[in-house]
Amino acid sequence: MNSQPTQNLEVWAGLECTVNRVRDRFSDQCAMNGHDERWQEDIAQFRSLGVKKIRYPVVWEKIAPASLDHFDWTQSDRALNEMRTQGLEPIVGLVHHGSGPLYTSLLDPEFPEKLATYARAVATRYPWVEDYTPVNEPLTTARFSCLYGHWYPHAADDRSFLRALYNEIKGTVLAMREIRQINPKARLIQTDDLGRAQGTPRLQHQVNFENDRRWLSFDMLFGRVNEQHPLYDFLTNAGDLTRDELRWLEENRCPPDIIGINHYLLSNRFLDENAHLYPDWCCGGNGVDRYADVGALDTGQTTPLKPIDIFREVWERYHSPYAITEAHIAGPREAQMRWLTEIWDSAKTLREEGADLRAVTVWSLLGSYDWTTLCTADPCRQFYESGVFDVRSSIPRETAIATMIKCYAEGRDLEHPLLERPGYWQEPIRVIYAPAAEPPPSPSAMRKKKSRPLLITGANGILGQAFARLCDVRGIDYVVLSRSELDISDAQKVREALDGLKPWSVVNAAGSSPINRLTQNDDYRRRADVLGPSVLAEWAAEAKIPLMTFSTAEVFNGNERRPYHEFDETSPINNFGRSKAEGEQAVLDRHPGALVVRSSSFFGPWDERNFVIQTMRALRSGREVRAPRNGVTSPTYLPDLAGISLDLLIDGEKGVVHLTNQGAVSWVQWARRAAELAKMDHGLVVECGLEELDASLRHPDYSALVSKRLGPIMPDFDRALEICVREIALKECV
């Protein structure tokens, strides 16, 4: 057993910077996330995290897009010099999931030499830079580009895959040779995904093959691919690599100074010949066997490996310094926090065992686009997942992951009740495909007692019920109370509830309802919307407990005829809006750290009274639906509202924010669009005036909302409505 490393475990960060080519279309993550324009402000925010190193792009496709005779250093000069001034050490990446500029590709015989030429130019320009990753994830890039055909040059055979991998590794060796002629102290930090395969007994031969293949990029760099290597015959036969080429790698070995492991939730795979149990898109084969290839977590056929198992294997195989160079998952905030915690704790455990594991790299600083489709989607259908910062706001907004990084950088762990439960990947409910005959037992990491809960008020309302449903799905311990169980206007009961439950946060989903306003008098509304929230806010502030409460678009008068944002002055025209506006101010006066969410026109698959369900039921029975032509609104899909507002609460967001799905429609447009999506007769939707349906109350003619603070954080309305219509149809057919 080696002695324990003496230096502290470091926290690094990384910027998702893929410049990817699909056919003749390039996609650039740093253009999409705005960093190319916002570089100076971003670097200042990166510096505030306390990290030492940042994986940062000086990507070939952007610096020398036309030829190796012409370089545009404008962007990299500004950014790298600013990082140097700020005391940040870049780990410079030259090719990140790309195939190079138009004048080369992974299958170009001259790719290695061209990459080396570019690397020398970078090192000459920035001789002070010491850390390099010439090619990010060469094995993964070769697979996606030349084995599966997803990316350029879109090959799909073993020969192309192995030629691409060889070119990347030889290019890395030559690139480091050129870089070290400029800076002899330069270090190679080589990254790749090392997920392990599992499978059914019949496919054990394929499982063994893939588990040997996953080491190829590092084995090549370490000079280990010779006649004794288990894949040597595969490389020389299926790959058509010559013995001289492999001998060159052995003789010119370039072991990484730090091995970098990029590990994701679905890195570990499961192979199953029972392809009929899986969707077609996840099925393929090896030319002899047809089988499904899915994330090991997604099937009940096996007990998936944990990240620590993979990390331990790397140390046992190479006994060389290494780091976790990407740690990220998409999903709700507490899942991201739990994943990062598991990675960090695994790294600390391995260091205690004696492994020379240097750092954990939090990925990605500015989030990423379209990785749900492996960056192959049309640019018009971008799917964004936030990371350390959320770039959808005008200034990138810190998430709870930023708080975790700051704690790690200061040498301490983040303590939060949400981290007392394991991630959903450790729950049996995770199984999606081909569950085993007997459900897997709950893992030993499952909690034995509940953590401090989230307190939700309004148990009988649709919003309170939505939060309870969401917490069940997301693995968040909660207590949801009705008005009879907790009258939030009663200070003594509020104090007792907070003292007894000790919640880590409070969601006030109680309040008067626009649906029931005819039966709710002014005294009731004031008690529900002003007195109750203000009492709750006062005692939550006293106990230093975060609070989130909800308001409405009807705090505005509707005269502007454009979507209202958070900085518009309120001017309600009815008692419902007035009580909500007064309640907002009362909450913020008593609890300046509270989060006030304005929303409007809820719809979803759960509430029997909402507009979409009522419309679909009427149309299904052939009845006419009367819908106002005026009264423009921004409909809000309840699952989106509850999910995103909960993320904001976990992030520590405060003040007033607007959360509605993107888009503004009249009620008649809404009803007709729902009919179209449900393939029903939209001719049964008849226009009327808002006053014809509710003449007793004044409504703003225009109550659409938009968020200037958060940007387009909520999904598009049409997408949400499509999901809702599908969910309702499934529910009503059962």
Lowest mean pLDDT among 129-143, 352-366, 508-522, 539-553: 508-522
Q: pTM for this structure? A: 0.94
Which residues in 205-278 belong to E strands, given as ranges?
258-263, 269-272
Structure tokens at 108: 């170009």
- Mean pLDDT on 7-14: 93
Tell me how far apart the alpha carbons of residues 155 and 79 are, in angstroms, rounded to a whole number: 35
> Sorting pLDDT into bands at 50, 70 and 90, what band is 394?
confident
Tell me how far apart the alpha carbons of residues 350 and 315 are, in angstroms, rounded to a whole number: 9
Lowest mean pLDDT among 77-86, 239-248, 510-519, 527-536: 510-519
> Does 181 score more than 70 pLDDT?
yes
Q: What is the pLDDT of residues 402-415, one digit of tens each?
A: 999 999 999 999 99
Q: Are 688 and 673 contacting, i.e. CB atoms less than 8 angstroms apart?
A: no
> Does 442 score more than 80 pLDDT?
no
What DSSP assignment string belongs to 144-177? HHHTS-SSTT---SHHHHHHHHHHHHHHHHHHHH
537-552 CB burial, b ≥16 within 10 A, e <16: bbbbbeeebbbbbbbb
Lowest mean pLDDT among 143-152, 430-439, 660-669: 430-439
End-to-end CA distance of the chain: 59
pLDDT at 437: 45
> Sorting pLDDT into bands at 50, 70 and 90, what band is 2?
very low
Lowest mean pLDDT among 196-210, 270-284, 331-345: 270-284
Which CATH number does the domain 10-265+305-410 belong to among 3.40.430.10, 3.20.20.80, 3.40.50.300, 3.30.70.1290? 3.20.20.80
Q: What is the pLDDT of residues 231-260, one digit of tens each?
A: 999 999 987 899 999 999 999 999 999 999
What HEC string does 570-638 produce?
CCCCCHHHHHHHHHHHHHHHHCCCCEEEEECCEECCCCCCCHHHHHHHHHHCCCCEEEECCCEECCEEH
pLDDT at 451: 85
> Does 398 score more than 80 pLDDT?
yes
Higher pLDDT, 665 or 520: 665
Helix, strand, or coil (residue 291): strand
pLDDT at 299: 86
**β-pairing verdict for 290-295 and 283-285:** antiparallel
Q: Chain-wide mean pLDDT for the chain?
A: 92
Tell me how far apart the alpha carbons of residues 506 and 500 are, in angstroms, rounded to a whole number: 13
Paired residues of 283 in beta bridges: 292
What DSSP assignment string belongs to 663-718? --B-HHHHHHHHHHHTT--GGGEEEE-HHHH-TTS---SB--B--TTT-S-SPBHH
Q: Are 422 and 445 contacting, i.e. CB atoms less than 8 angstroms apart?
A: yes
Q: What is the pLDDT of residues 669-709, one digit of tens each?
A: 999 999 999 999 989 999 988 766 665 567 788 999 999 99
Tell me the one-letter amino acid at 125: R
> Does 517 score more than 60 pLDDT?
no
Q: What percent of the chain is modeled with pLDDT above 90?
A: 82
Tally of CA atoms within 13 A in the half-sphere of 207 that contains its CB: 18
> Does 617 score more than 80 pLDDT?
yes
Tell me how far apart the alpha carbons of residues 730 and 727 are, in angstroms, rounded to a whole number: 5
Chain position carrying tokens 């290597």 = 229
pLDDT at 446: 45
Tell me how far apart the alpha carbons of residues 292 and 199 are, in angstroms, rounded to a whole number: 10
> Does 144 score more than 50 pLDDT?
yes
pLDDT at 432: 79
Higher pLDDT, 317 or 276: 317
Lowest mean pLDDT among 56-70, 406-420, 434-448, 529-543: 434-448
> Does 348 score more than 80 pLDDT?
yes
> Sorting pLDDT into bands at 50, 70 and 90, what band is 447?
very low
pLDDT at 1: 40
* Domain segments of the chain as ranges: 10-265+305-410, 269-301+421-448, 454-733
pLDDT at 503: 98
pLDDT at 730: 83
> Does 652 score more than 80 pLDDT?
yes
pLDDT at 277: 86
pLDDT at 369: 94
> Sorting pLDDT into bands at 50, 70 and 90, what band is 610?
confident
Structure tokens at 616: 């679909």
Task: Report the candidate in 689, 633, 624, 690 with the shortest Cα–Cα distance to residue 666.
Answer: 633
**β-pairing verdict for 10-14 and 53-57:** parallel
pLDDT at 239: 78
Q: Alpha carbon of 258 to those of 2, 220, 641, 681: distances in Å? A: 17, 15, 43, 63
Higher pLDDT, 5 or 681: 681
- Domain 454-733 CATH class label: alpha beta
Task: Report the candidate in 694, 693, 682, 660 with the shortest Cα–Cα distance to residue 616.
Answer: 682
- Mean pLDDT on 452-457: 97
Tell me how far apart the alpha carbons of residues 329 and 309 are, in angstroms, rounded to a whole number: 18
Helices (H), 410-514: 462-474, 491-501
In Å, how far from its chain's centre is CA 35? 18
Lowest mean pLDDT among 133-137, 339-343, 439-443: 439-443
* Range with the largest mean pLDDT of 1-15, 374-388, 636-650: 636-650
Q: Are 282 and 291 contacting, i.e. CB atoms less than 8 angstroms apart?
A: no
Chain position carrying tokens 């190479």 = 318
Structure tokens at 169: 């590794």
Q: Are 295 and 330 contacting, i.e. CB atoms less than 8 angstroms apart?
A: no
pLDDT at 57: 98
Contacts with 81 (C-beta within 8 Å, 6 or more apart), sequence order: none
- Mean pLDDT on 448-456: 83
